[in-house]
Amino acid sequence: MIKINNVSMRFNLGIEKNFSLKLFFINLFKHKNKEPKKEFWALKNINFEVKKGEVVGFVGCNGAGKSTLLKIVAGVMKPTKGSVEKYGNICPMIELGAGFDMDLTARENIYLNGAILGYSKDFINEKFDAIVKFSELEDFLDVPVRNFSSGMVTRLAFSVATIVEPEILIVDEVLSVGDIAFKQKSEQKMKSMIKGGTTVLFVSHDIRQIRELCNTVIWLENGMVKMQGEANQVCNEYEAYMLNR
Amino acid sequence: MYINNILSSLKKYKFLMNQLISRDFKVKYKRSILGVLWSLLYPILTMTVMALVFSNIFKFSTPGVNYLVYLLTGLVMFNYFNEASNLAMSSVVANFSLINKIYIPKYIFPISKCLFVGINFLLTLIPLYIIIFITGTPLNIYHLLLPYSFVCLFIFTVGMGLILSSISVFLRDMFYIYGVVMTLWMYITPIMYDIKMISEELQIFFKLNPLYHYINFARRIILYNEIPTPFTFVICAVTAIITLLIGVIIFKKSQDKFIYYI
């Protein structure tokens, strides 16, 4: 179960510009009367609740705040205001292969990436063969990942990330990776994970997938919930809106 | 309560810490022929160079004790601090791609670097003891107290690593500034000379440097066959713990903002 209470997220724009050694020391000595910074509210007062086993899709144009919202739920960012309540272990599939070290072999990376995702050693030992089998990279286990093609890297990453059965699954546009054959396989895997009773938060620009997989859809627009409700209904409205823009 | 939290998360992330440390080892030696042997050879060779330069060219010496052992004791400990604090400083920035995508307690990165260099440090004790034997410096029972100063040095380094890694996120200039600071720090720490060679007034300032006390602790035992004074015991623990506390506070306060700056 996930509960989002009044979450707002503020970013300061132009942080890079305003930050220099000189300003650092100036600001050190004058805490007050700082210049007002340019602010950008990526999320404004978001409220919703996801029940156990529910599959929630998020739609909205680029920059609407979908990924920021998922990162807040995953615990990567802390909201400026509001709070997030979540129960159960989370498997964030926000970007695959983030923890790979290109100098290590596939075998070593499975352990490293598994550890980063919070798996225990015994768990990885137990699932190692399954991971390798799914990735179909048996022949390249002791090759440094540096020499892999990008498709092979994502296949490995996908296989490591999806080996768990998490209670909460966060998916940001990673439904299908690799060549056509692996694409089908990974889509099947994702679908079986999603249908397997886990709670899913799912961001995609593919409305077909959203309709197919989600019970509820939340439509974000400029950091606010524009519409929320039954999947087909929201998707119809969203598509009509996007086409008439 | 808070301590409990830390301990349980340390337990939970122990495997990750192991993996990060072993990754560092593998990556460090993967493409060299001699591999892990470099962990031993590198310090031996650099220490030999230092020893040759300072005892033969500059004719430094320490009355009553073997200069080589004197130099190496200081060097081994200072090198640990230098390498560990530098790696810890860049650890958070270097792992940004991870921090931005998945929740991991961020303190893991500086601490795993301090531990990684710590293992290397333990390996450099082997050549140090070989030199101690070769030069005929007598051993004594107080050597069993040495881990005390190593632990203090480690705690101090972790504290510094936490401070440096959080500052360097907001201020990339820190990487350059710290390079300069370390050069200065190396010379104001009595590594190649004896603190008694400096004027009395300056000595007071030199003794504000915690590294001096950790090194002094080890030298009292290894070279002078005596138990360090109670004052040395206390000052070592106090400086280490205070630095760690400052580090924890700074890191804890700033870690949620890291993500906006990296």
Residue A17 has pLDDT above 60, yes or no: no
Give the tokens for residue B114. 């301090």
Residue A33 has pLDDT above 60, yes or no: no
Q: What is the mean pLDDT of chain A?
A: 84
Smallest CA–CA distance, residue B16 to chain A, in Å, is 5
Residue A117 has pLDDT above 70, yes or no: yes
For residue B55, what pLDDT band results from cuts at 50, 70 and 90? Answer: confident
Higher-confidence residue of B233 and A119: namely: B233
Residue A142, number of CB atoms within 10 A of its CB: 9
For residue B261, what pLDDT band results from cuts at 50, 70 and 90? Answer: confident
- Residue in chain A lying closest to B170 (CA): A19
Torsion, Cα of B117, B122, B123, B126 (10° steps): 150
Smallest CA–CA distance, residue A120 to chain B, in Å, is 7
Ramachandran region, residue A197 (left: φ > 0; alpha: ψ -120 to 50; beta: rest): left
Residue A14 has pLDDT above 70, yes or no: no
List chain A residues with CB under 8 Å of B15: 115, 120-121
Judge whether B103 is closer than 8 Å to chain A, CB to CB. Answer: yes
How many Cβ pairs closer than 8 A exist between chain A and B?
A: 65
Interface ipTM? 0.81
Judge whether B16 is closer than 8 Å to chain A, CB to CB. Answer: yes
pLDDT digits (tens, 9 = 90+) for B150-194: 999 999 999 999 999 999 999 888 999 999 999 999 999 999 888
Smallest CA–CA distance, residue A16 to chain B, in Å, is 8
Rounded Cα gap, residues A112 and A114, in angstroms: 5
Judge whether B20 is closer than 8 Å to chain A, CB to CB. Answer: yes
Q: Sketch the domain layout of chain B as residue ranges.
A: 34-261
Judge whether B23 is closer than 8 Å to chain A, CB to CB. Answer: yes
pLDDT digits (tens, 9 = 90+) for A85-106: 988 878 777 777 778 888 899 9
Interface of B with A in 205-224 (CB under 8 A): none
- Residue in chain B lying closest to A75 (CA): B103
Over residues B17-28, mean pLDDT:
89
Over residues A126-146, mean pLDDT:
92
Give the tokens for residue A27. 């600001």
Contact A127, A205 (CB under 8 A): no
Q: What is the mean pLDDT of chain B?
A: 89
Residue A37: what pLDDT?
64
List chain A residues with CB under 8 Å of B170: 19, 24
Greatest mean pLDDT among A95-99, A211-215, B60-64, B232-236 lies in B232-236
Residue B239: what pLDDT?
96
Interface of B with A in 60-89 (CB under 8 A): none
